[in-house]
A and B are shown apart, each in its own frame.
Chain A
Amino acid sequence: MSEATVNNGVNADALVAAREALTEAPQAAQFNWRASCEWKNGTHSHSTVEGFFGLGEEQKRSKTFAFDADHPEIFASEDLGATPVEYVLVGLASCLTAGVAAIAQYRDIQLKSVKATIEGDMDIQGILGIDDEVRNGFDGIKVTYEIDADAGRDDIEALVAQSQKRSAVYDIVTNPTAVTVEVK
């Protein structure tokens, strides 16, 4: 499918094969992603990501990934990690960027460099409960890509547009998701 000359480090043939296999066996496409989070002190928490379920069975990682979240000092916190909302930005930017690479591979476009900056505007009167009309979350998120690739501007824009269309985090952020929070 892909030319040997284009290499973005993405195994596009494997992705295509997986897509075909999962079309035949849709139950294997049911995944369950998880993280666990433990409070440390103040606004500081420590989260880990390890196993997940997919392809019909429990899957193991090569290692456990750890993430510290906190708030900056201006919130009277200790700044021991990025804020949770910044993790959302990281999630979105990394999801879109992975998508750009995969789609570029599929479309035979050699990438040289891909850089995204992502920013979210927020009026914190919402989270502080000062103004009911202000939402807690972002007013809007802006992602700016700088891409150097063997392709014209239209093709590069199409890569970025298609990656939004196929992105899980983009969907999570732009569409409502039912959330259930329980106490054991």
Chain B
Amino acid sequence: MVGAGHAGLAMSRCLAVRGIDHVVLERGEVANSWRTERWDSLRLLTPNWQSRLPGFGYEGDDPDGFRDMTQTVAFLQRYAEVISAPVETRTTVTSIRRDDEDYLVTTDRGEWRARSVVLASGACNLANVPKVADALPDGIASVHSFDYRNPDQLPAGGVLVVGASATGTQLGYEIHKSGRPVTLAVGEHIRVPRTYRGRDLMWWMDNAGVHDERWDEMDDINRARRVPSFQLTGTDDGSTLDLNAVTDIGVALVGRFAGLVDGKAQFSGSLLNQCALSDLKMNRLLNSFDEWAAEVGADADVEPSHRLDSTRVPEKPPLTLKLAEAGIGTVLWCTGYRPDLSWLEVDVLDRKGRICHEGGVTSSPGLYLMGMQFLRRRKSALIDGAADDADDLSEHLAAYLDG
């Protein structure tokens, strides 16, 4: 197993239950990504109850709360201890190759030979930075959310936040509150209410079966895998952090970041449609919740159906912005992440370097994948999604070993 995040640990537990001898190789400590790659104020956007790992779950008295990073790390650390996961920490995998029937796993602490390998090294190892970032004028800092920790790290002055999914809206809000005026460039995004009809969004996703939708039942799984993250944050009061909420505190919305010429940023004229699409999609989701509630007779358990106000789009958002003149000191790219499998020397990557798989099963016998967006189910990349995937894939893996 490569990686001791929740996905690797969940798989470790499932293999242990099946009596399969294994080792988990981890370049840092357990929960390394949560320890080293997240911003200071980050809290999970999934509630505490929604972290049901194989043989373990939330034990505290605040099931509806949202963990901060210290609590998230402690939770996973404890999971590793409870299941006695055989983790080799400080062990970086530098290559994996096929060798006859086996895989040869090279690390900075020696070689392992394995009949089967599970890649649980994470979906968010590298920052996606658009190419235009190279053209930013001197004197304007270029920071990706991957390296962002808190507003104090940024130079004084305005901040252009690019991307309005979970990360961009959260950071835009926090940075604007710190006294650095934020302009938020909005591309495709998925708006959702934190609370709907008196229940948390995740309660609906879970109960209405949306999270359990399977990869092999989707019309277009590739598209489903590319959908951006929910525009969502873990809030104590159940309030929603959407574009209206950031507009309320004074963040300026502009269109998708489209180009950069002579220090002048260009924004797409598509803002209105991006917001319209997002509102329509949200209402489709809420309609499906309403239908589900009516169908299973849950209407009495929840508050009456309601809709959010449409996204307020500025009448004439600027299409260009001279960054230096507008006082922008930083461009913060909240443009997503991608996995790093550059060390994988097995022929399972497509022409864009992405790993090909069918629900986590690769075409190379015995090589499996965990923790990717919509790997087997809509919830696959979430902490709560690992249990079912690990169960399915460990079964497949066991059958393979029995061969």
Q: Which one of B259, B270, B283 contacts A164 once the chains associate, using CB atoms below 8 Å?
A: B270
CB distance from B392 to the nearest CB of A (A): 26
CB distance from A104 to the nearest CB of B (A): 15
Q: Is the CB of A176 within 8 A of B259?
A: yes
Q: Is the CB of A175 within 8 A of B259?
A: yes
Q: How far is the CA of A158 from the CA of B188 in the complex (A)?
A: 15
Tally of B interface residues using CB under 8 Å: 18
Residues on A with beta carbons closer than 8 Å to the beta carbon of B316: 140
B224 proximal to A (CB < 8 A): no
Q: Which one of B188, B266, B351 contacts A176 once the chains associate, using CB atoms below 8 Å?
A: B266
Q: How far is the CA of A164 from the CA of B271 in the complex (A)?
A: 11
Residues on A with beta carbons closer than 8 Å to the beta carbon of B259: 175-176
A146 proximal to B (CB < 8 A): no
Q: Which one of A26, A140, A154, A161 contacts B273 once the chains associate, using CB atoms below 8 Å?
A: A161
B86 proximal to A (CB < 8 A): no
Q: Is the CB of A175 within 8 A of B280?
A: no
Residues on B with beta carbons closer than 8 Å to the beta carbon of A123: none
Q: Is the CB of A164 within 8 A of B273?
A: yes
CB distance from A168 to the nearest CB of B (A): 13
Scan B166-200; emit 1 where CB is below 8 A from any A CB, else 0: 00000000000000000000001000000000000
Residues on B with beta carbons closer than 8 Å to the beta carbon of A161: 273, 276-277, 280
Q: How far is the CA of A56 from the CA of B351 in the complex (A)?
A: 19
**Residue ID in chain B nearest A178 by CB atoms:** B259
Q: How far is the CA of A175 from the CA of B261 in the complex (A)?
A: 13
A174 proximal to B (CB < 8 A): yes
Q: Which B263-280 residues sit within 8 Å CB-CB of chain A?
A: 266, 268-270, 273, 276-277, 280
**Residue ID in chain A nearest B255 by CB atoms:** A174
A173 proximal to B (CB < 8 A): yes
Q: Is the CB of B268 within 8 A of A175?
A: yes
Q: How far is the CA of A161 from the CA of B268 in the complex (A)?
A: 15
Scan A153-184; emit 1 where CB is below 8 A from any B CB, else 0: 01001100110110000100111100000000
**Residue ID in chain B nearest A176 by CB atoms:** B259
How many A-B Cβ pairs are below 8 Å?
40
CB distance from A29 to the nearest CB of B (A): 13
Scan B272-292; emit 1 where CB is below 8 A from any A CB, else 0: 010011001001100000000
Q: Is the CB of B280 within 8 A of A157?
A: yes
A170 and B277 contact, Cβ closer than 8 Å, known pairs A154-B283, A154-B284, A175-B259: no
B258 proximal to A (CB < 8 A): yes
Q: How far is the CA of A164 from the CA of B255 in the complex (A)?
A: 14
CB distance from A64 to the nearest CB of B (A): 33
Q: Is the CB of B277 within 8 A of A175?
A: no
Residues on A with beta carbons closer than 8 Å to the beta carbon of B256: 175
Q: Is the CB of B270 within 8 A of A170?
A: yes
Residues on B with beta carbons closer than 8 Å to the beta carbon of A174: 255, 258, 268-270
Q: Is the CB of A157 within 8 A of B276?
A: yes
CB distance from B326 to the nearest CB of A (A): 16
Between-chain CB contacts (< 8 Å), 17 pairs? A140-B269, A140-B316, A154-B283, A158-B280, A162-B277, A170-B273, A173-B269, A174-B258, A174-B268, A175-B256, A175-B258, A175-B266, A175-B268, A176-B258, A176-B259, A176-B261, A176-B266
**B positions within 8 Å CB-CB of A:** 188, 255-256, 258-259, 261, 266, 268-270, 273, 276-277, 280, 283-284, 316, 351
Given contacts A176-B258, A176-B259, 5 further A-B contacts (CB under 8 A): A140-B269, A157-B276, A164-B270, A165-B188, A174-B255
